[in-house]
């Protein structure tokens, strides 16, 4: 029998998914209105202990909306990691603003808080109450603090440095549902926080996103912008450009059923990470996944570094894992050197590139069996041994 490729991160649909989706279908509520959307928003707000939650069509739509809500305008600058999935950088461009790419901390893979502080302190100045990038005169309007891989960035430091200068903070917690930083849910430190329910996330709605905020006015604005900015729905009066960014009821029904299972998914992913840690403890060629101080991690994707590997070695390593039936993947290509962003500013980016070159994410779905995790860890060790000179 040929073994299937062990997937990187497959959803586990083991709860009320069928029941809730059927309920939505039976009641005829399938589109962007209906009780499941509100139920999902309420349950989500409670899960991350945020006063307000607004469901959106995707994590990317959530980010675009949040940036508009906090006032990002064409010609502004927004700080964002060079090493992340491309969605937050795209969302900044949708606003007509320019990303400024920040380095990753090699010890945690996250946006380097010290470099964010240094950029704001040394590269910017206050002009008429606005933080401005001295090199080009552009207002620095916001920072998108991304929490990667089921860990968290040092959001308290990043938020403090930003707020001191009136710079808004949007958290991208797409990969960090269930993660806490210093006892508080990732995504609830900034002016707004954004989540994704894409199919590979810890909780999926097939596709979808959520925006959270402690600020009722910002949450209202998000609800307004995601539903075509309706000022007088009966007369079709729209005083601003709006978006068709609302989640559908079918997505919300699925998402709610998934959210109910979050504690179990988190526990399972922590057990998988512990099994990988144990398997790699005595393997000198592997740097295990970091456990940053103050972070209660979910290890959304268990990601290791191949000690001393260059880009080509890492590419061969992943091909070798695929041949052994392990659905591994690299971290993202650094964004500042991709064609659509080549003209944007990158500030002291060094380690992000090393991490892109030498890191490998391993299968981490909550549905993996112990035997499958062992199989993946054995394959990593075997591939290392095979690649040794
Ligand atoms: C860090 C990060 N931000 C944003 C997104 C975008 O979310 P979505 O796919 O729901 O638009 C993703 C994943 O897809 C992500 O990993």
Q: What is the CATH number of domain 17-259?
A: 3.40.640.10
Q: What H or E segment, with its residue span, contains residue 252? A: helix 249-259
Q: How far apart are CA 200 and CA 7, in angstroms?
A: 10
The rounded distance, in Å, linking the Cα atoms of 184 and 378 is 36
Alpha carbons 195 and 59: distance in angstroms, whole number: 6
Instruction: Decide: 88 in ligand 1 pocket, CB within 6 A.
Output: yes
Smallest CA-to-CA distance from 41 within 54, 24, 57, 58 is with 54
Ligand 1 pocket residue status of 198, Cβ below 6 Å: yes
pLDDT tens sequence across 142-190: 999 999 999 999 999 999 999 999 999 999 999 999 999 999 999 999 9
**3-state per-residue secondary structure call for 88-125:** HHHHHHHCCCEEEEECECCCCCCECHHHHHHHHHHHEE
Ligand 1 centroid vs 245 CA: distance in angstroms?
A: 15
Mutate which of 87, 145, 255 to test ligand 1's pocket (most atoms within 8 Å of Cβ)? 87
Task: Give residue 139's pLDDT.
Answer: 98
The pLDDT tens digits for 275-316 are 999 999 999 999 999 999 999 999 999 999 999 999 999 999
Distance in Å, CA 27 to ligand 1 centroid: 31
60 pocket-lining for ligand 1 (C-beta < 6 Å): yes
Q: What pLDDT score does 70 carry?
A: 98
CATH number of 262-387: 3.90.1150.10
Instruction: Name the pLDDT band for 1 (thresholds 50, 70, 90).
Output: very low
Instruction: From 104, 172, 196, 246, give the residue whose CB has the most ligand 1 atoms within 8 Å, as the site to mutate.
Output: 196
Helix, strand, coil proportions of the chain in percent (round to 5)? Answer: 40, 20, 40
How remote is the CA of residue 19 from the centroid of ligand 1, in Å? Answer: 27
Average of per-residue pLDDT values in the chain: 97
The pLDDT of residue 91 is 98
- Please state the domain extents for the chain: 17-259, 262-387
> What residues have CB less than 8 Å from 95, skipping those under 6 apart?
64, 67, 68, 72, 73, 74, 76, 78
| Torsions phi, psi for 37 (to 5 deg) | -65, -45
Residues 70-109 have pLDDT tens digits of: 999 999 999 999 999 999 999 999 999 999 999 999 999 9
Q: What is the mean predicted confidence (pLDDT) over 115-135? A: 98
């Amino acid at each position: 029998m040929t073994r299937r490729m062990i997937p990187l991160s497959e959803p586990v649909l083991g709860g009320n998914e069928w029941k809730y989706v059927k309920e939505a279908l039976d009641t005829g509520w399938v589109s962007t209105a209906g009780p499941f959307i509100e139920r999902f928003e309420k349950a989500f707000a409670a899960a991350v202990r945020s006063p307000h939650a607004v469901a959106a069509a995707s994590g990317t739509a959530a980010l675009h909306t949040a940036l508009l809500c906090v006032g990002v305008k064409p010609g502004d600058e927004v700080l964002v990691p060079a090493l992340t999935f491309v969605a937050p950088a795209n969302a900044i461009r949708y606003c007509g603003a320019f990303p400024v790419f920040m380095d990753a901390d090699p010890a945690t893979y996250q946006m380097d808080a010290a470099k964010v502080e240094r950029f704001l302190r040394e590269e910017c100045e206050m002009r008429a109450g606005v933080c401005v990038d001295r090199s080009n005169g552009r207002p620095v309007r916001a920072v998108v603090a991304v929490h990667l891989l089921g860990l968290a960035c040092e959001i308290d430091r990043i938020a403090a440095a930003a707020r001191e200068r009136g710079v808004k903070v949007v958290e991208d917690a797409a990969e960090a549902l269930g993660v806490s930083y210093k006892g508080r849910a990732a995504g609830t430190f900034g002016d707004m926080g954004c989540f994704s329910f894409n199919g590979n996330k810890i909780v999926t709605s097939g596709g979808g996103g959520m925006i959270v905020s402690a600020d009722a006015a910002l949450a209202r604005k998000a609800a307004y912008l995601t539903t075509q900015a309706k000022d007088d729905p009966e007369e079709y009066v729209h005083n601003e450009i709006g978006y068709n960014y609302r989640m559908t009821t079918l997505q919300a029904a699925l998402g709610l059923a998934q959210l109910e299972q979050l504690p179990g998914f988190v526990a399972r992913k922590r057990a998988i990470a512990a099994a990988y840690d144990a398997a790699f403890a005595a393997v000198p060629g592997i740097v295990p996944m970091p456990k940053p101080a103050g972070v209660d991690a979910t290890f959304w994707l268990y990601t290791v570094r191949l000690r001393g590997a260059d880009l080509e070695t890492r590419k061969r390593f992943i091909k070798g894992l695929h041949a052994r039936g392990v659905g591994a993947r690299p971290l993202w290509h650094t964004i500042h050197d991709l064609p659509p962003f080549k003209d944007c500013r990158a500030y002291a980016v060094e380690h992000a590139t090393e991490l892109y070159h030498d890191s490998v994410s391993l299968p981490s779905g909550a549905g993996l069996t112990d035997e499958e995790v062992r199989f993946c860890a054995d394959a990593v060790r075997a591939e290392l041994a095979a690649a040794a000179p």
